[in-house]
Structure 1
């Protein structure tokens, strides 16, 4: 194996983190944080990494990965203060896990197909979960984090079920299911008195069905909606510019005017 490389900047980063958390000379904001309070920042930083990658700006990717690494270092510092783990424990744990889950690389197990590798990974992961001290469930849907982004979690739930055969083999019935869910939303809207909780439930079913369609078409639903958001944002900003060139503002324009501008922008792209 190649000789290990020293990482002095990692030691420097860990030192900076300790200084930020110092109870006497540290930063008041950093001193007040806990595992729970920094979770939203961690999620935000992960999305900013994904955004930078989508934009293809490698300098931004580097910066955003630094921000995300800082989140890991922050958790490590909190763990060290509570004497439950530190950064070295985190690094050791993931290194051990990767070696354990890749016997075809580290144990010279050869001639495994992609499907066999996936099955081996799942089997090793289940074994790891059974060895944990926390009570385990036999459900194939166990251990999919509730805090995961909903679209990603929906796709993971569906993938788990597909592995045991609970899945349509063709895409046509999946499309039919999407149409069925749209019809059920319309059925609720056609009732004389709207039940908002029921409408929410049907919208949820529709979204779940659309995620399933994306999965069958080998589209990552989270990536797809992120790109759709970016496309809408870009087009709407062009609508704003076009209306401004016409001496109009959004506030002074009616829906027909804005729709005409939208169609004009759309044709140019």
Structure 2
């Protein structure tokens, strides 16, 4: 691996290239924080895909793309004489030191749960009015639900045992089924939301990341369905010409192939 000196040299090179692009490249010169925002979100999702695939080479590349965006925002900030990359780095260093008194102070912790509780309490002392202030409004609903539950659990608002959460899930499922019978769309949607929220909570208790779990299932389904499409093409048929029973034969083949790896 590279030495600290080599790492700093590489980062300095990136800052120099950013300066040059901002001055000389027509596209880079036009960018603002607003125009970069959606691209940053896209790059973050691409990094997430690479992490799910455990593709270290791709993770390295995607981290580079995300790092470029961080440097880009800092460059724009410096042009506005608001902040630069040193301010960005110093701000996060200051926050990390302040929120880790068990490392940089005299606070004692027993485990990870203590660390999380301290973290949330420190943020409240910093002036936050709610432990939920740090949950971004634009997060996808599934991810947001998980973060909400983690946040409130950090201050002790939580179930004690997994079986209690599972019983709550069963309760919510029963309420949802009751509304399905009534066929009242608005109430059905409300109860279905409660079911999903409870499922996510139960996953948290089992130390399962619900976003990762669902995305892995998405990828698995897509791979199996694309296998069905390929097999249909091999026999000269379109999916529209096949019966569900015929497609299901290939689906079962795809499932069998999954188990081989």
Q: TM-score, normalised by structure 1?
A: 0.81
User: 1:106-121, aligned counterparts within 5 Å?
Assistant: 106-107=104-105, 109=106, 112-114=109-111, 115-121=113-119
Q: Aligned match of 1:255 in 228, 237, 244?
A: 244
Matched, 1:237 2:226: yes
Shift of 1:264: 2.7
CA distance in 2, matches of 1:60, 1:175: 38
Whose relative contact order is higher, 1 or 2, with alpha carbons under 8 Å and at least 6 apart?
A: 2
Matched, 1:224 2:213: yes
CA distance in 2, matches of 1:83, 1:14: 17
CA distance in 2, matches of 1:119, 1:176: 26
- Is the partner of 2:221 in helix, strand or coil? helix
Contact kept, 8 Å, 2:116 with 2:154, in 1: the verdict is: no
How large is the RMSD of aligned CA atoms in angstroms? 2.6
CA distance in 1, matches of 2:168, 2:30: 49
- Is the partner of 1:5 in helix, strand or coil? helix
- Is the partner of 2:239 in helix, strand or coil? coil
Shift of 1:101: 2.3
- Is the partner of 1:251 in helix, strand or coil? helix
Aligned to 1:90: 88
CA distance in 2, matches of 1:186, 1:31: 56
User: 1:202-221, aligned counterparts within 5 Å?
Assistant: 202-221=191-210
Aligned to 1:12: 13
State which drifts further: 84-93 or 112-121.
112-121
C-alpha spacing 1:183/1:32, structure 2 compared with 1 (3 Å): farther
Aligned to 1:26: 25
Matched, 1:155 2:136: no
Q: Which has the higher helix share?
A: 2
How many residue pairs were aligned?
254
Matched, 1:69 2:67: yes
C-alpha spacing 1:145/1:113, structure 2 compared with 1 (3 Å): same
